[in-house]
Structure 1
Amino acid sequence: MKIKYICLLFLFFIQFTFAQIGFQDNILNSENVYPGYTNGFVHSNDIDGDGDMDLVVILGNGNEVAWLENLDGQGDFGTPETISLTSSGFRTAYALDVDGDGDTDVISSSDEYITWYENTDGLGTFISQQSIPFDAFSISYADLDNDMDLDIVASNYQDSKLVWFENTNGLGIFGSEQIINDGFTILTLHITDVDNDNDMDIIAGRDNENLYLYENTDALGDFGSSQLIGSTQYNADSISSMDFDNDGDLDLITVDGSVSGTLIWYENQNGLGDFADGINFGTGGVFMDVSDINNDGFMDIIVSGGYNHSSIYHINNGTGGFSSFVNFLNTYSEGTTNIYATDLDGDGDLDVVKYSEQYETISWHAYLDGQPDYGSEKVILTNADTPQEVIAFDIDGDGDEDILSRSLNNLAWFENTDGNGLFGNIRFISSDYCGSMFPTDVDNDGDKDLLCSSGSRFFWIENTGSQNFSIQHEIDDNTVVRFIDVNDIDGDNDLDIIAYKTNQILLYENLDSQGSYSAPQVLIDNVNVIGNGLKIADIDGDTDMDIVFGEYNLISWSENTDGNGAFGIPQGIASGVEDLHSIYVIDIDGDNDLDMVFGSDDRKIAWYENLDGLGAFGSQIIIASDTNTSAVVSSIFPGDVDGDGDIDILSTYSVSNYSGEVRWHENIDGQGTFNSEQLVSTSIGRPVSLFSSDIDNDGDMDVVSAGKNFDNITWYKNLNLLGNEIYGSVRFDINDDGCNTSNMELPNVMIQSSNGTDDFATFTKENGSYQIAVNEGDFVTAISGLPNYFSSNPVSNSSSFSGLGNTDISNFCLSSNQTINDLEIAIYSPFNDPRPGFDITYRIVYKNLGTTQLSGDITYMFNASKMQFLGANETVVAQTANSLTFNYADLNLLETRTIDLQFNVFGPPTTNINNTLVTTATINPVSGDNMPDDNVFTLNQTVIGSYDPNDIRVLEGEEIVMEDVDKYLHYIIRFQNTGTASAINVHVENILDDKLDWTTMQLESLSHAGRVEIKNGSEVNFVFNNINLADSTNDEPNSHGFIAYKIKPKSDVVVGDVFYNTAGIFFDFNPAIITNTVTTEIIENLSVSEFNNNTFSVYPNPTENQLTITSKIPLSAITIFDINGRKIKDVKLSNHTLQYQLDVANLSNGMYFIELVSENSHETQKFIKK
């Protein structure tokens, strides 16, 4: 199952304060999501097995390895699908078959690890399999030991190492490093057979500007000492091999690190690896690929241009030279740091894909058949670098609101793919930097084109339909203009343009409604417009268009005196205004004339009333004024945020270059009286632009913003339904005299509130209190999932809300109607899975679900041959080699407690990858318990080689039998802040599978204080605010967190149903980290024959006298323990026993554990003696 990168879809982070509208952040663009300006890399292979070439890329300045699906085999690519995230910086990522199973896996290198990710289904679902601790500056891969699998070669800059790692079994289990060379810094690697002895040698470029050969002396990976090939003049940026001179052996080609990127040829003089001095033969760049581009049987060379240079294609003339070269002169050829030849369009020749760090763009060119040339550039993925402005409108004519962005490196847009706010990849329009833009239907064909001013060019980009903006039309090629607005200035029923040039406001008259404009005409002279302060509007109500403009400390308007574009002397509206940022002309007070509102550098938002509708303005009315002298009102936008029919004001406040807020100010009476600001979002980066429109087609106004410093473009879903609150507490009536504040508070009780259409739920806090945000209507609130031996008074409470800003209290008092003992226990590994040689923490979660206070003990059993106990946060009262016992006292009804235990997993060969570790916890007393089965919990874990710190696990595994569908599935979501600063807020979104019964959900344990929000039975949000989660760089042990909960399947599930579970983890306002997807399938109840498919089988269970034990491999020992961990019976076996009859007739009735041991396997099961 493919895991889509859904940070563009969801950020279930609700900024909600009582009596305010809530907003949900959805990040479209971020420097962490798209191609970045460092660590760019691209490689190609068929990831999903559909016969076309997909791409593996490094994104977000090196923090993500992802793959892009070639959707149609023609080079149209989908959204990035995350393979792995890191804070340490990926450097390379290659697509290859690591484990020999016929599909394409991925291997990456970073500042800390070389890691390979298995393509588990051949369709692009990846799981990290092994991480090798190694700071790899450069890596490559080849079969070094002639065993038909791919090994890894790596160089390390800091320790000056050149090493290789053997693929020991062909399945991707890599051995320890084998040093090839020590003491020299290797910058560049290439692997090839230069001496024609049928093994792979290594060519290395050192940091001393020389090129060396390391010969594979025995075809087994034993390498000789370095042999100098020659000087590279500068350090070699790239090395490749080809038969340059057509003499039947492999020569070497390098691109040196000079400014021009010189291409150097080293002739293999005898086919045995003796090389002549290098000969310069052309210019290049920084990265090279050698392939037969034009299918003429000769190897050609493509070289990336590096910064400020174009990429070049050198054509081999077949006679030992290169007859011509072709420049990739397109925009994103400059700054290309990675280039690769591959067939993206499935036509049998090699196209070229490039990664430009300078322009933060991945693009490709199709090879033009029969020509020594390439087609036009096609952008696959690009980043809106330092966005300046965002506007929402229907770009593609499909009836929904798309989003247009203007940034430093391009004009681009995001398609609203479903009309509900699901956005696809950023779509490239133009690489021209537009100082100002304006969307309007220039050519009167029913769609919106784009006006753009770029330097001294003023032009329009035609929207030709079909989502294409490929044609530019000049308006004025000799004038620098800014601050564009469009309307009918001269009363001839077409749309003219006004724009600001230094000291002048100009008119470009629309001559034919087809895109032809007059030369600029000066409308108003001797003005100095700033801050997007130029607007067209009918100020005096005479049906023609006047002009409003803002200067440094003055706002004025000029009357269109004849309706034909003759403008009068400017009339002042306001003076003493400091550095305007935004002006809008709109009816603020609902009196049907146009007022004026502005934001300025002195932290002020204010408006001026058009007193008579004729352009006589009143005094300044302050909407908001910030006392923070570092704050700036960077933009405003008027709109009806709360849907009450009047004009509210949205604003962005920049506190610094790296922080700011999006706010809104409610027009509380429709007449221009505004309340204090309300938060839409705390924006990362400096917010500079705002727009409001109905993005998700739900009838309310959403918000779009652009943030400058982290390239953030975000839309905020308006959750205006959430404006009322139900709150209260849950207590237990111990003495049957009613509840009061002295009664016991009950935590982790689910409270549900429903109006018949919308369902909202949460869990009570430690103090028994809860809060649920709801919308308007009639709601019934009740406790959900209450065992039948508890009674609730009242059973439910009713609340009725009309309008927003209301509250209602709904308290519940529980009492017991019978005496029940009911304990349960579970085990979680909250931070990571077991790894050989590493420590691991386990958490025992135990609770009292009954109606009586209980005391007793807990026994914890573990495999002492595989792991060592280090300590616990509770006192161990008894201990054996493989068991621990803890006491507990006075466990209250519905109380949950935890015990944390630390172990060290032994390293190889004692504990190896893929070993199974079994731990079992039992809580006593079992006798008399209402549900004795859940007094025992067994956790089976597979030992792993590496792990993703942000993941989800289901403890029951990939399958459950049909007879167990009435039992709980236990899930744990684990997260780690791998950034470089603490995360103030962490939010985890978890969409429940529709076959899980959300009303049975129980919260087991949280790493930090938080709350749970459940909406409509499936949308679960775990909210950890103000926890300041440490980052792994500065405080690794405290950088982890987790969520543990359990839930039952619905009663109507059947065999073959599969439960899927994935989580999205949000650290502050960063894009979502999407976890793996866990699956659990319901299978038939196992018969005896089906049990035999497992390694060990024990039956019948329960039993009275005898157990039959069968094994697929010879048994060596059988041991029985009681629930306290005491050894009851021990049987040693020989003679390759595959079946054994074990007499248990003398055992007392109750539950036992049976440990089964073979040479290479170990398993613990439980059985009941009756």
Structure 2
Amino acid sequence: DEDILATNPIALYENVDGNGTFALRQTIHEERVAAIAFADVDLDKDIDIVSMSSPWGFNRSTPITWHENVNDIFEARHPVDAHSINAPGSVLAVDLDGDGDSDVLAPLKWRTIGWYENLDGKGTFGSAKVIAQSEFESIFDFAGISVQAGDVDGDGDIDVLAHVSEQDSIVWYENIDGTGSFADARVLFVPPRINDDPFGFEVADLDGDSALDLLIFDSMEIAWYKNEDGRGTYRAVQTIYDHADDPYVGMSVVVDFDGDGDVDLLKRSRCSMEFIENNGTGNFLDPIVLLDDLCRRLEVFRYYDYFFTVSDVDLDGDLDFVWPDEVGFFWRENRSDNIHEFTAPEVLVTTQFYRSRPCAFVDLDGDDDLDIVATVHDGNYQIAWYERRLLGDVNDDGIFNSTDLVLVFQAGEYEDQIVANSTFDDGDWNGDGEFDSADLVRVFQAGTYDAAAISTSDVAGAIDQLLANDDLLKPRFGIRDRIAASPRLSEYD
């Protein structure tokens, strides 16, 4: 299943039951994170994290660090470049020299793009190798600009692409020999816009011919540029979407949303989410509105943030929507029998942080589910890991039974009147920071409790007997009184 990763700090939210229940597993990094990437940096068959910091105040340094996954715990931090002053746009982990390990690619100092070689396949990185460095600020100013990588010319190695902000052009640096030696910049094209910096670009095969095409997202339109010969000759083919009249256009995601084997487009605007289907040959059909209620406010959550992520949160074979918000993440389920119909918003993760950015779903602990890794903000940007776990399983043995109940009551935090002092392992199963009867309501409504056939202790046996008796359960835990008050999103205003 999938876990979620957020940044700013980097926080990992564990998927606790495989059905979209997540618990904070670890705050991985607590220092102003600007960008993250995932790769098995040391080739030990687990997923590590590469992060780039952002400048803050008078501290202009933006060090690049990789966080080693050691038995599903991120404690070891290793420098890629501890003293760099980089353009905090993006960082990629990709094999640029063809030796089978992950190198690091990033915009570096003013007007520079470079990469760091993974020298030994174990995460020992060399000094920055410059791919491009301009003498003219007005032509090649890479500050804050993202880079991408892919085999543009079909020769089997990884090339580098970048957006040049001053000229609003996309440039290509060919990997000449497959070992990380790059040619001078080649301007692929200049979009026909003036002073409209693109929001970004994506590299993908849009028409099924195995050549990497380009999608350009700017403040006026979304356009497709076809790689005509598979060798890096690009031509404008289609304006997929013209949003000149929508000043609130948000991000777009390139993904096979309908599961037919080609990549489609999802576009977020101020009030709606639209699905633009690819017919398989690169011809994008008219937009279909999936959600049209994003302007309205919920009682708690606010839709001011235009970022989103798609993932199969509930593991039913289709893609759901996930949004960050000031208090965490919420999701809307894709009803698998109709990809154009979604449920009302539900809380996915409640965080203790002020604000969260878009998250990533990554299996960091190798349990075949996807956790959440997210950049979260509490006055500083950090990386947090939220793990997918079985609801109620506080000892993480894969079973929710009386042993777990004994542990949470022994922790002594049940309705202790101390604000926000409880975690998942202390009995907080609804993410509000408290262990109270609402958590017991949620966990038993989920139906995951496994009563012990033979009680392992007098306490465990007593709990099993209690939970097997509805008449005892209701007054003891206040089910009838608490269900209506259990933490749920209210209806739209």
1:483 equivalent to 2:153? Answer: no
**How far, CA to CA, are the matches of 1:498 and 1:599 in structure 2?**
25
**Helix, strand or coil: the match of 1:705?**
strand
1:472 equivalent to 2:133? Answer: no
- Residue 568 of structure 1 corresponds to 235
- TM-aligned CA distance change 1:681 to 1:778, over 3 Å: closer
**How far, CA to CA, are the matches of 2:391 and 2:241 in structure 1?**
39
Deviation string, structure 1 residues 40-71 (Cα, Å, up to 9, x no partner): xxxxxxxxxxxxxxxxxxxxxxxxxxxxxxxx
**How far, CA to CA, are the matches of 1:12 and 1:538 in structure 2?**
32
1:414 equivalent to 2:67? Answer: yes
Q: After the TM superposition, which residues 1145-1164 of structure 1 pair with which residues of structure 2 at under 5 Å, given as runs?
A: none
Which 4+ stretches in 1 moved above 4 angstroms?
8-16, 577-581, 628-631, 755-758, 760-770, 774-778, 781-787, 790-797
Give the CA deviation at 1:603: 6.2
- Residue 316 of structure 2 corresponds to 644
Q: Any stretches of 5+ residues in structure 1 without a counterpart?
A: 1-7, 32-383, 654-658, 725-754, 798-809, 815-893, 896-1010, 1012-1023, 1027-1170
Q: TM-score, normalised by structure 1?
A: 0.31
CA contact (8 A) 2:208 2:282 kept: yes
Residue identity opposite 2:151 in structure 1: D
- Residue 74 of structure 2 corresponds to 423
Partner of residue 401 from structure 2, selected from 759, 765, 784: 759
Q: TM-score, normalised by structure 2?
A: 0.70
Deviation string, structure 1 residues 168-211 (Cα, Å, up to 9, x no partner): xxxxxxxxxxxxxxxxxxxxxxxxxxxxxxxxxxxxxxxxxxxx
- Residue 447 of structure 1 corresponds to 101
- Residue 811 of structure 1 corresponds to 470
Give the CA deviation at 1:441: 0.3
- TM-aligned CA distance change 1:469 to 1:795, over 3 Å: closer
- Residue 717 of structure 1 corresponds to 387
- TM-aligned CA distance change 1:630 to 1:445, over 3 Å: same
Deviation string, structure 1 residues 580-632 (Cα, Å, up to 9, x no partner): 554332111112221112445x2654432224543222214334725249743
Question: Radius of gyration: which is bigger?
Answer: 1
- TM-aligned CA distance change 1:443 to 1:616, over 3 Å: same
CA contact (8 A) 2:94 2:104 kept: yes
Give the CA deviation at 1:535: 0.7
**How far, CA to CA, are the matches of 1:517 and 1:701 in structure 2?**
36
**How far, CA to CA, are the matches of 1:549 and 1:686 in structure 2?**
28
- Residue 681 of structure 1 corresponds to 349
**Helix, strand or coil: the match of 2:323?**
strand
**How far, CA to CA, are the matches of 2:107 and 2:13 in structure 1?**
38
Partner of residue 402 from structure 1, selected from 45, 48, 68: 48
Q: After the TM superposition, which residues 900-1049 of structure 1 pair with which residues of structure 2 at under 5 Å, given as runs?
A: none
Q: How many residues align?
A: 405
- TM-aligned CA distance change 1:625 to 1:561, over 3 Å: same
Deviation string, structure 1 residues 987-1040 (Cα, Å, up to 9, x no partner): xxxxxxxxxxxxxxxxxxxxxxxx9xxxxxxxxxxxx999xxxxxxxxxxxxxx
**How far, CA to CA, are the matches of 2:11 and 2:25 in structure 1?**
6
Identical pairs, percent:
25
Please, what is the CA RMSD of the aligned residues?
4.3
- TM-aligned CA distance change 1:494 to 1:776, over 3 Å: farther
- TM-aligned CA distance change 1:796 to 1:630, over 3 Å: closer
- TM-aligned CA distance change 1:546 to 1:793, over 3 Å: closer
Q: After the TM superposition, which residues 734-813 of structure 1 pair with which residues of structure 2 at under 5 Å, given as runs?
A: 757-760=399-402, 762=405, 771=441, 773=443, 779-780=450-451, 797=468, 811-812=470-471
Residue identity opposite 2:309 in structure 1: F
Residue identity opposite 1:25 in structure 2: L
1:663 equivalent to 2:322? Answer: no
- TM-aligned CA distance change 1:417 to 1:670, over 3 Å: farther
Residue identity opposite 1:640 in structure 2: D
Task: Give the helix-richer structure, 1 or 2.
Answer: 2
**How far, CA to CA, are the matches of 1:611 and 1:581 in structure 2?**
24
1:517 equivalent to 2:182? Answer: yes
Deviation string, structure 1 residues 739-762 (Cα, Å, up to 9, x no partner): xxxxxxxxxxxxxxxx99542554
1:694 equivalent to 2:366? Answer: no
1:493 equivalent to 2:149? Answer: no
**How far, CA to CA, are the matches of 2:439 and 2:159 in structure 1?**
61
Partner of residue 387 from structure 1, selected from 4, 9, 33: 33
Q: After the TM superposition, which residues 280-291 of structure 1 pair with which residues of structure 2 at under 5 Å, given as runs?
A: none
**How far, CA to CA, are the matches of 2:374 and 2:437 in structure 1?**
39
Task: Give the strand-richer structure, 1 or 2.
Answer: 1
Residue identity opposite 2:366 in structure 1: N
**How far, CA to CA, are the matches of 1:795 and 1:541 in structure 2?**
60
CA contact (8 A) 2:24 2:385 kept: yes
Give the CA deviation at 1:557: 1.2
**How far, CA to CA, are the matches of 1:796 and 1:715 in structure 2?**
32
**How far, CA to CA, are the matches of 2:398 and 2:129 in structure 1?**
56
Deviation string, structure 1 residues 1026-1081 (Cα, Å, up to 9, x no partner): 9xxxxxxxxxxxxxxxxxxxxxxxxxxxxxxxxxxxxxxxxxxxxxxxxxxxxxxx
**How far, CA to CA, are the matches of 2:107 and 2:373 in structure 1?**
23
**How far, CA to CA, are the matches of 2:149 and 2:94 in structure 1?**
8
Q: After the TM superposition, which residues 24-173 of structure 1 pair with which residues of structure 2 at under 5 Å, given as runs?
A: 24-29=23-28
**Helix, strand or coil: the match of 1:642?**
coil
**How far, CA to CA, are the matches of 2:206 and 2:391 in structure 1?**
38
Give the CA deviation at 1:460: 0.7
CA contact (8 A) 1:439 1:449 kept: yes
Q: Any stretches of 5+ residues in structure 2 without a counterpart?
A: 1-8, 55-61, 135-139, 416-435, 477-481, 489-493
Residue identity opposite 1:710 in structure 2: N
**How far, CA to CA, are the matches of 1:756 and 1:701 in structure 2?**
16
**How far, CA to CA, are the matches of 1:769 and 1:461 in structure 2?**
47
Residue identity opposite 1:514 in structure 2: T
**How far, CA to CA, are the matches of 2:214 and 2:208 in structure 1?**
13
**How far, CA to CA, are the matches of 1:511 and 1:475 in structure 2?**
12
Residue identity opposite 2:310 in structure 1: P
Residue identity opposite 1:522 in structure 2: V
CA contact (8 A) 2:12 2:384 kept: no
Greater RCO between the two (CA within 8 Å, min separation 6)?
2
Partner of residue 596 from structure 1, selected from 243, 261, 265: 265
**How far, CA to CA, are the matches of 2:205 and 2:277 in structure 1?**
14
- TM-aligned CA distance change 1:696 to 1:780, over 3 Å: same
**How far, CA to CA, are the matches of 1:756 and 1:536 in structure 2?**
40
CA contact (8 A) 1:442 1:515 kept: yes
